[in-house]
Structure 1
Amino acid sequence: MSTSADPLAALAQLPGVAESVESMRKAVDRVYGHRVMRRRSAEITAEAALRGARGNAALSGADWALEEVRRRTDFGGDDEARTVGAALRLAAEAGQLLTIWRQSPLRVLARLHLVAAGGAGTGADDGVIGRPRLAGEPVVEPLVDLPLPAADEVAGRLDGLSGLVMAGSSAPALVTAAVVHGELLALRPFGSHNGLVARTAERIVLINSGLDPKAVCPAEVGHAELGAAAYRAALEGYVSGTPEGMAAWIAHCGRAVELGMRESTAVCEALQRGAA
């Protein structure tokens, strides 16, 4: 596929992107080559999902300690608890949507929003959850304060993103994942939970691409560790559309993956020592 027919492949040629991809690949290989992965990968997958959910919620304003997330069973009490509950549900749901993603990414995004919101809308929310926003409908996304695209632009760009995913690309998984993540945050297509959905979609791309088939790469951990300010600054680069801005966003996502892999490596080490 030529880069003219494959715009994601063109992004892979931006300065610094190949280095980010290579650095991330080395981090992935370290985890998958760990001796514990051969015997206890299911435990590492489960721990990555929990830690990824914690990181996802942290960037949406619910920065709870890992042990609090692990301990709690009731997530309906307040806004932070509901955010953590939404992140946990998304982490559990992601693995069920892998086969659908390449055939119908818009269907997956609708499902992710429905899961994040906790089910079908009721009352004032009825008919809003699980579908892209319409003109005049508000958006609640406190982390991202960039200009909000109009509803008709959102619809067109979602269709374009869906087409890119379904067409496939020769670009590395990091590039595709970063574009899916960045585009969803830039668009904020739903009335709520856009950040949670965008980061979960990134995770789905990384798993579905074959880069992380056992789902032990909690990139959300890395995004949270890098911090909200760096996240917003990198996203501004993506929204700018400049080569430098796009490359910086991809590099930021690559670093988040590396940090997530470092977390899973630490889990492997702890299991090996019998400490976890």
Structure 2
Amino acid sequence: MSVDVFEPLAGLEGVGSAAQAARDAVDVLLRDRGLRRVGSDMTAEALLRGAHASAALAGSTATPDEVRRGVADGLASGAVRMTGELMALAPQVDKAPVQVWTRLHQLAAADLVGPDQLGHLRTSAEPVPDDIPGLPPAPGADEMWERLSALARSLTRPTRAPGLVVAAIVHAELAVLRPFPTANGLVARAAERCLLVARGIDPVAVTVPEGGHYVLRATYASGLTDYTARGLTGVRDWLLRSCEVVTKGAELSPLASSD
């Protein structure tokens, strides 16, 4: 019998109600604006805003205008590249998560590392990456592989946990494990976005959760550090923060400001 690892986390104090409130914020946005009005241009705009915010969190100095014109730095260009395939990758994330994550890295890091490093999961013979400022050291390759494999298996099994909780845990695990040589933050945030689409939280990808993370950037690294170091209390706090991120992502949607 398979174990549902996500459901107990959804039952931590305050998480269930916070997840429902965040889901309601997205549902109100979609209902009030009308799903029939969500065209591909609105999705593209939301994804572009998310790419800029995610890249900024990773250290990019590109402006939104530079991102739109395609003249941004490597971090922002990689984030934009991921948006081009995100909607196609989302349906696969529950079936072949590792393949989705490695594809996201290929897109994110194309301007940052050599071809042999794209989509490459690190081994014990390689340096431990340190590409998300403020986090404690990443685990060694053996522990990383073990936890990554367990996470992937859990994603392919049924769960009664809200999709938002699943997405937040995947984000945290990928950020903490840092399985790739670089661009791990970009991949982690895109993986979260994929799951918010796949699990029906925002199926048309018109919210901007990466923007929510950017608005709350002062607690990004500390939230992940607590997730690692403070047991279930740290996990609960990360999940509560993630619920706030999704709510802010709905507020930042281009739908919210459209006529």
Q: For the Cα contact (< 8 Å) 1:54–1:84, is it kept in 2?
A: yes
**Would you say how many aligned residue pairs link Structure 1 and Structure 2?**
258
| 1:98 pairs with 2:62 | no
Query: In the superposition, relative to structure 1, how do residues 119 and 270 fare at CA in structure 2: closer, same or farther (>3 Å)?
Result: closer
Correspondences of 1:117-132 after superposition (within 5 Å): 117-118=109-110, 125-132=114-121
Query: How far did residue 242 of structure 1 move?
Result: 1.6
1:135 matched residue in structure 2: 124
Q: Structure 1 residue aligned with 2:138, among 129, 148, 151?
A: 148
| 1:174 pairs with 2:143 | no
Q: For the Cα contact (< 8 Å) 2:49–2:211, is it kept in 1?
A: yes
Q: For the Cα contact (< 8 Å) 1:178–1:250, is it kept in 2?
A: yes
1:112 matched residue in structure 2: 104
Q: For the Cα contact (< 8 Å) 2:75–2:109, is it kept in 1?
A: no
Identity %: 37
**Matched AA of 1:188:** R
**Matched AA of 2:219:** A
TM-score normalised by L of structure 2: 0.93
| 1:217 pairs with 2:215 | no
| 1:192 pairs with 2:179 | no
Query: How far did residue 94 of structure 1 move?
Result: 1.2
**Matched AA of 1:248:** D
In structure 2, what is the Cα distance between the partners aligned to 1:148 and 1:270?
40
Query: How far did residue 251 of structure 1 move?
Result: 1.0
In structure 2, what is the Cα distance between the partners aligned to 1:51 and 1:120?
21
Query: How far did residue 47 of structure 1 move?
Result: 1.3
In structure 1, what is the Cα distance between the partners aligned to 2:216 and 2:256?
23
Query: In the superposition, relative to structure 1, how do residues 242 and 160 fare at CA in structure 2: closer, same or farther (>3 Å)?
Result: same
| 1:14 pairs with 2:12 | yes
2:44 matched residue in structure 1: 46
Q: For the Cα contact (< 8 Å) 2:110–2:118, is it kept in 1?
A: no
Query: In the superposition, relative to structure 1, how do residues 142 and 211 fare at CA in structure 2: closer, same or farther (>3 Å)?
Result: closer
In structure 2, what is the Cα distance between the partners aligned to 1:240 and 1:145?
10
**Matched AA of 1:129:** L
Deviations, residues 80-139 of structure 1 (Å, cap 9, x unaligned): x11110110112221121232122111111111111122896xxx453321210114222
Q: For the Cα contact (< 8 Å) 1:234–1:249, is it kept in 2?
A: yes
Q: Structure 2 residue aligned with 1:268, among 250, 255, 258?
A: 255
Q: Which runs of 4+ in 1 moved over 3 A?
A: none
In structure 1, what is the Cα distance between the partners aligned to 2:77 and 2:201?
27
Structure 1: which 5+ runs fail to align? 76-80
Deviates more, 1:211-220 or 1:201-210: 211-220
Deviations, residues 210-260 of structure 1 (Å, cap 9, x unaligned): 111111122101001111x30011111211252211110011111111111
Larger radius of gyration: 1
- 3-state secondary structure, aligned to 1:167: coil
In structure 2, what is the Cα distance between the partners aligned to 1:187 and 1:145?
10
In structure 1, what is the Cα distance between the partners aligned to 2:140 and 2:175?
14
Query: How far did residue 50 of structure 1 move?
Result: 0.8
TM-score normalised by L of structure 1: 0.87
Deviates more, 1:169-178 or 1:139-148: 139-148
Q: For the Cα contact (< 8 Å) 2:135–2:224, is it kept in 1?
A: no
2:26 matched residue in structure 1: 28
